Amino acid sequence: MKQPSRWLFGTHVVEETLNSGQMEPREVWIQRDRGRNSAELAKTAKGKGIHVRWVTRRELDKLASGESHQGLAVRVDAPGSDDFEEFLAALPEPVRAQTVLVALDQVQDPQNVGAIARSALCLGAGALLVPDRRSAGASQGALSASAGALSKIPVFQVGNLAQTLTSLKEAGFWIYGADMEGTTSWDVRFNRPMVLVIGSEGAGMRPLVRSRCDEVASIPQAPGGVQSLNASAAAAILLYEASRQAHA
């Protein structure tokens, strides 16, 4: 089932949401005296069958509850676990065989989620998987931090990440986790199709999620390093290594 609708705010976020095709916009609010490209944006939304409502600044302020809205808001439905199954089923076999997914195990910092989405999009990942609890997901903060990436890469919410990883293993996916205690990434062969699991900022992967991994990879560091990188940096490095191997 889809998660409940939610509101997103700000010029860049709203424009990307309307144009990306990854989320499902249901309604757009535009401040009446906003000016700029408001009429064009309203025309775009109506052309896609999205309801447009012209409102006052006070109405938007109340809706945004302190968020910076820049005179724009959009209500969206985000993909859920049912949509993920449909997404996988629709992949042509040659594409499926090379698919890279990124799973976030309770990553709660929106800045990290946004940065991971940027790396995932730039390095060829096909989608993000996030638990429906204790995860920032495609939140307003994450969307802003992603510089539009979260509007271009599918983000699917799953109820039980460990169970989802088990199903993906049964479907032929290799599961790789990121952890400082793992095998150095230089010695890991990243096979495809694959899922890269990134754990939470403090605790890392939960034990049950870790147990689903075929291999756990660490990132080599120079002597005197800080031992662990944050979630977004680790994701970028490991995704780059997986991409490098695939094109070697």
Q: Is the pLDDT of residue 165 over 60?
A: yes
Angle 136-5-55 from CA coordinates, rounded to 5°: 110
CATH 3.40.1280.10 is right for the domain spanning 81-246: yes
Residue 135: name the closest of 49, 41, 186, 209 by CA: 209
Give the pLDDT score at 212: 96
Tens of pLDDT, residue by residue over 128-157, are: 998 876 665 556 666 665 666 777 788 888
Segments making up each domain of the chain, as ranges: 6-77, 81-246
Tens of pLDDT, residue by residue over 177-208, are: 999 889 999 999 999 999 999 998 778 899 99
Look over the chain and give the mean of its residue pLDDT values, rounded to a whole number: 85
CATH class of 6-77: alpha beta
Q: Is the pLDDT of residue 48 over 50?
A: yes
Tens of pLDDT, residue by residue over 100-125, are: 999 999 887 888 888 998 999 999 99
Give the pLDDT score at 1: 40
Cβ pair 209, 106 in contact under 8 A? no
